[in-house]
Amino acid sequence: MEKLNALPPQGSVALKASAFIRVVLCISLIVGLLSFRNIETAQTIVRPSFEVATVKPLEIIPGQVLRYPQPCHGIDSDPRAALPPIGRCKIQPVTARKLISLAYSPIKVAQELHSSGGPAWVDSQAWAIEGKAESRSATLADLQQMLQSLLADSFKLKFHEDQRKGTEYVLMLSEKGTRLVPDNPEVPATMRSTGPGSYELHAQPIGILCRMIAKAVGAEVHDETGLPGIYSFNVALGRDVDSSSAGQAERFSETLRGLGLRLARRDGIARSLVIDSIEKPPLQ
């Protein structure tokens, strides 16, 4: 007679079942945590976008400047400057390279962030950009991130960052103090070109001058004047393509001396963006 296989003890079956259940629960917990982490990561990389945005091509007119020197109006913008309606960006005429600079330049540092690479049209084609935030309480940082989203969505911009040792400048008061007199708050903010590299400004903060200098010298310019008001002044920042950064700074030092200001040079970190790919947005 064949012997029947002995059944395992009842306690052994219970232990195996319990171990199996624990393994299943551990796997479920790990999967759940990974899913939550993926959701969290996806949320952190999402940038805010404009509720409504338009991108239209324009013809470049030599000497023409931005309609609004400060083209985005956040709740933390200087109310004395010429601004579009609150919660909006109105940027025209602007090239794709200039738009990249506006979108990625540090807000609290007067700096013209430079970029390299890209097809010829990023410098030759002008655009009219207008974006409206969903909330009127959007800050300048919020609006800048929305510009970054517009570049990624409409221009399909892809880039990488390059950092190297470089030169930066500091705008300071001269030893005898400034000759600038604050404008009346009722003076309208204007900026117009009076010739190649020459401008007449009214009711503008010193930060505007820093940004103009930064563009001319191709380096970061920090405002250490301590001047909080708005002013009227003329500047001549003519660009000589054969001049070095130091040569450019020396070229318009006379203009700054006339305003009771001076520019100091120091070592710093030069940050720039390298365009990997960019596309013209479809006509709207």
Nearest Cα neighbor of 193 from 66, 70, 60 is 66
Determine the Cα–Cα distance for residues 226 and 170; give it in Å rounded to an integer.
Answer: 12
Which value, in Å, is the radius of gyration of the alpha carbons in the chain? 28
| Predicted model pTM | 0.60
Element holding 272 (H helix, E strand):
strand 261-277
Enter the DSSP assignment of 229.
S
pLDDT of residue 247: 62
Strands 261-277 and 114-116, bridge-based pairing: parallel
Model pLDDT for residues 239-283, shown as the tens digit of each residue: 544 445 566 667 777 789 889 999 998 988 878 899 999 999 987
Query: For all residues of the chain together, what is the average pLDDT?
Result: 80
Enter the DSSP assignment of 72.
B
- Min mean pLDDT across 92-96, 216-220, 240-244 is at 240-244
Determine the Cα–Cα distance for residues 123 and 41; give it in Å rounded to an integer.
Answer: 35
pLDDT of residue 283: 78
Q: pLDDT at residue 38 above 80? A: no
Determine the Cα–Cα distance for residues 89 and 140; give it in Å rounded to an integer.
Answer: 10
pLDDT of residue 105: 86
Say which amino acid occupies 153.
D
Nearest Cα neighbor of 127 from 84, 92, 157 is 92
- Min mean pLDDT across 25-39, 114-128, 142-156 is at 25-39
pLDDT of residue 65: 65
- Min mean pLDDT across 144-148, 150-154, 222-226 is at 222-226
Taking residue 38's Cβ as centre, other Cβ atoms within 10 Å add up to 10
Note whether 213 and 221 are within 8 A (CB): yes
Name the more confident of 74 and 212. Answer: 74
Q: pLDDT at residue 110 above 60? A: no
- Confidence band for 7, pLDDT divided at 50, 70 and 90: very low
Say which amino acid occupies 210.
C
Sign of the C-alpha dihedral computed for residues 42, 47, 48 and 51 taken in this order: negative
Mean pLDDT computed over 117-140:
95
Taking residue 143's Cβ as centre, other Cβ atoms within 10 Å add up to 26
Mean pLDDT computed over 198-221:
84
What is the maximum alpha-carbon separation in the chain? Answer: 119
Mean pLDDT computed over 179-200:
86
Length of the chain (residues): 284
Mean pLDDT computed over 108-126:
83
pLDDT of residue 141: 93
Q: Which residue bears the tokens 């945005």?
A: 53
pLDDT of residue 3: 45
**Cis amide bond preceding 281, omega within 30:** no
pLDDT of residue 16: 52
pLDDT of residue 28: 54
Note whether 118 and 236 are within 8 A (CB): no
Determine the Cα–Cα distance for residues 283 and 270; give it in Å rounded to an integer.
Answer: 35
- Min mean pLDDT across 91-95, 108-112, 123-127, 197-201 is at 108-112
Model pLDDT for residues 42-52, shown as the tens digit of each residue: 334 578 999 99
